[in-house]
Structure 1
């Protein structure tokens, strides 16, 4: 199975000149998140990347923190959408095979999506202090749990029950988040899809992954 479409979904998280000023600021803020991190990015860093002026941040976003929050949410939403779209690319016959193919494709694409992952993962730290970030993450997770459960169970998303989303969907989200975070820390020693599936069979030898 080809996962070319997965890699195309992620794109380059960097800054590209020639966009509108608001989009320029968002892209510049995202680039600064990747290069410096949230805590170390200043308003001057952002305008240096974009060529805008400090007043433009106030005009479009109010504050530098609001701009950075918007950039983090944009990256996280893009990551969430990519996961959803990747879940449609697994035509395997069994639930276990669908899950394995999905995880294999997603993790294989991580190397090309390092910048996006770095930007999006900062949303977790912000969620504790920014209600709008927490609300957006919660909404994204609620949708992802349903879509991912549907993918593994082989049913339309509208047929997924709340219990299936809470169990099957949550398990897949946990596998994705845990594997990606380990990959960001140490890509050479991070788990592969086969490792995760082997562990699930070891823990539940009589239970199918679906």
Structure 2
């Protein structure tokens, strides 16, 4: 690994351990085994490095809940093709199971969201990432078929992003009462009148 990747790895560790505001350039250098000049050379600034590290952490979380597609385009073993409550529940089981391992990331995300009004570059980077994340979530949950409907994918992605943020908040506040995949599926069915 070169200095660029070492810095990114060190910054990711610092973000999870210290948070966004408390991570200093010296912390990153100590965690990465590099030097202060490397930050400017490879990333331009500490802030740009922290943004890249945060986005990499969020992408890693997305990868942890997304199984690779098989040859037919289906999403991993046991996940039914297309959208539907069975697929919704199985994917949420993965997501909910991943929350404990990513608790530090969700705390970090809450801190980062609180910084957006004062950091336009960070907000801009997150807006772009959010749009990509929305598309990925729509695909993961089966809202993108063989003939993609951009509006269907957009609203499905928005819906799942809102659920992720809400579940994350509830999990941080009280993991014991946070919704399970079964709760979310039952709630979705109740709202849509399915199963009545």
- Is TM > 0.5 for Structure 1 vs Structure 2? yes
Please report how far the alpha carbon of residue 115 of structure 1 lies from its aligned counterpart in structure 2 after TM superposition. Answer: 4.4
2:85 matched residue in structure 1 = 96
Q: CA deviation at 1:188?
A: 2.3
Q: TM-score, normalised by structure 1?
A: 0.73
Deviations 1:61-88 (A, max 9, x none): 1211111111112112223344443781
Deviation larger for 119-128 or 70-79: 119-128
Match of 2:186 in 1: 198
| TM-score, length basis structure 2 | 0.78
- 4+ residue stretches of structure 1 with deviation over 6 A? none
**Matches of residues 43-54 of structure 1 in structure 2 within 5 Å?**
43-54=25-36
Q: 2:8 aligns with which of 14, 18, 26?
A: 26
CA deviation profile, 1:128-176 (whole Å, cap 9, x unmatched): 5225413432332342244135x2x5x63x5231231133332222222
Gaps of 5+ in 1: 1-18
Shift in Å, 1:100? 0.8
In structure 2, runs of 5+ residues without a counterpart are 69-73
Alpha-carbon separation, structure 2, partners of 1:115 and 1:66:
21
State the Cα RMSD in Å: 2.8
Count of residues paired in the alignment:
186
Partner of 1:110: 99
2: CA distance, partners of 1:138 / 1:59: 27
